Structure 1
Amino acid sequence: MEAAKIRTEIADKKISCRNHIIKTVNTEQWNTLIAAYQSKYPQIERKDILEILHHVNPVPNYMQAIKANTDELELTADKQKVFNTWGQENQPKMIELTNQITALEKEVYTASVQQKPKSEILDKVNEIEAIRKAIVSKKTNCRDLDCRNIEFRAMGYANR
């Protein structure tokens, strides 16, 4: 996954920069730098689940669009049921995954300013990437959910 590789490279460069600074400045200077940075660029605590979902991956939130446009889409009751069931089964997992990313991002931020080892930080970055991939997979499964011929399936016929 190219995006994961790029994110890891960026994290690696930032950690290398941090390590260079740590070797160059004394403890008081480091603490002053971190306080100034945290004041100007605090760790963002996102509250809205849709905002978090957009932050953690670029794949559209199809279920939200379906819910907002049910009338315009003229979905049958059976199709609405399929989408509602999908959402009920998968939304809790999506929320859990996005919360995991948010928590891990906070851990990465904290680990960096606390001068934790590069390997510890990159392990968390890799964990974030694995979760992002799982979210993209789930959202793509939703997009690919085939209910075009649901009326036939509901009556016991095979997909046509």
Structure 2
Amino acid sequence: MKNKLLILLSALCLSFSSITFAGMTPEQMQMMQHVNPMPNLMHVVIQQGEQLELTEEQSKALKEWHSKNQPQMMQMAKQVVELEKKLAEEALAGASGAVLQQITNQIFSVREKIITAKLACRNNMHGILDQKQWDKLVELYKASQKPAAN
């Protein structure tokens, strides 16, 4: 139990970032930041793809991946948020430790699916981009994670 809580807390800490997701409401952006500890590379492609000098074929392949997988990611993110709300409500209502652990296990299961999907996205992207484009993508992503200077 302690290990799972430590993993969850670590994932939550890693998931908060200052990037803006294309085509998402502020609520959706916050939700994805909360549930997703993996890098959001597709966002960088959508926002700064011109800097990657994508071919038409590459651009098409990445857009197809995004349109196919983004709705599923949002559904899983919503599921995590709903389960977390349920966990808090059940804890306050006096649910047994076994019930709370069951909900926690469901949260971990969905988060694992999110991480697996993000890994597949990263692997797909790595296969579509050449090494120079990949290096540039990583550079752009890292730059997007730095807090804005005041």
TM-score range, shorter chain: 0.5 to 0.7
Structure 2 CA distance for aligned equivalents of residues 83 and 4 of structure 1: 34
Identify the match of residue 51 of structure 1 among 30, 33, 38: 30
Identify the match of residue 95 of structure 1 among 65, 71, 74: 74
The alpha carbon displacement at 1:65 in A equals: 1.1
- Partner SS state of residue 144, structure 1: helix
- Partner SS state of residue 59, structure 1: coil
Equivalent position of 2:147 in the other structure: none
Deviations 1:6-44 (A, max 9, x none): 358xxxxxxxxxxxxxxxxxxxxxxxxxxxxxxxxxxxx
Residue 28 of structure 2 corresponds to residue 6 of structure 1: no
Deviations 1:90-140 (A, max 9, x none): 001000000000100000000011001111111011110011111011111
Structure 2 CA distance for aligned equivalents of residues 6 and 148 of structure 1: 35
**TM-score normalized by the length of structure 1:** 0.64
- Which protein has the larger Cα radius of gyration, Structure 1 or Structure 2? 1
The alpha carbon displacement at 1:141 in A equals: 0.7
Structure 1 CA distance for aligned equivalents of residues 37 and 101 of structure 2: 22
Structure 2 CA distance for aligned equivalents of residues 60 and 3 of structure 1: 23
Superposed CA RMSD: 2.3
| Equivalences, count | 112
Structure 1 CA distance for aligned equivalents of residues 66 and 98 of structure 2: 37
Percent identity for Structure 1 against Structure 2: 25
Structure 1 CA distance for aligned equivalents of residues 33 and 73 of structure 2: 12
Residue 127 of structure 2 corresponds to residue 144 of structure 1: no
Residue 104 of structure 2 corresponds to residue 125 of structure 1: yes
